[in-house]
Chain A
Amino acid sequence: MFKELDPLLHSQLRLAVVSILIGVESADFVYLREQTESTAGNLSIQLDKLSAAGYISVEKSFAGKRTRTTCRITSTGKAAFEQYVQTLKEYIGK
Chain B
Amino acid sequence: MEDKALSQKESLDLITSMIQNTRENVTRHSGKPFLVWGYTTVAVSILITCLVYFTANPYWNFLWFLIPAAGAPVNRMLRNKNKMVTTYVDRVVQQIWWVMGSGVVFISLVAFFIRLPFPVLFLIILLISMSVALTGLAIRFRLSVVMGLIGIPASLLFFYVPQPYQTPMFALFFALQMVIPGHILNRVTRQRHV
Contacts and interface: CB of A to CB of B under 8 A. Distances in A.
Do A and B associate with each other? yes
Contact of A63 (B9, B18, B80, B88): B80
B7 to A, nearest CB: 10
B114 interface: no
Contacts of B9: 92
Contact of B14 (A5, A12, A28): A12
A13 interface: yes
Interface in A32-48: 35-38, 42, 45-46
Contact of A12 (B6, B80, B85, B88): B6
Contact of B84 (A22, A30, A36, A42): A30
Interface size bucket, B side? 20 to 34
Contacts, number: 86
A19 interface: yes
User: Which label, helix, strand, loop or mixed, suits the secondary structure of the A interface?
Assistant: helix
Contacts of A23: 19, 22-23, 87
Interface in B1-40: 1-6, 8-12, 14-15, 18-19, 21-23, 25-26
A3 interface: no
B140 interface: no
Given A10-B11, A26-B86, A85-B15, A16 B1 contact: yes
Interface residues of A, number: 32
Contacts of A37: 1
B112 to A, nearest CB: 37
Contact of A35 (B22, B86, B91): B22
A45 B3 CA distance: 10
Nearest to B23: A23
A15 B15 contact: yes
A16 B3 CA distance: 10
Contacts of A35: 18, 21-22, 25
A16 B22 contact: no
B87 A42 contact: no
21 contacts: A11-B3, A12-B1, A12-B5, A13-B2, A14-B3, A15-B15, A16-B18, A19-B15, A23-B19, A23-B22, A24-B22, A24-B85, A35-B21, A35-B25, A36-B18, A38-B1, A42-B3, A45-B3, A46-B3, A88-B8, A91-B8
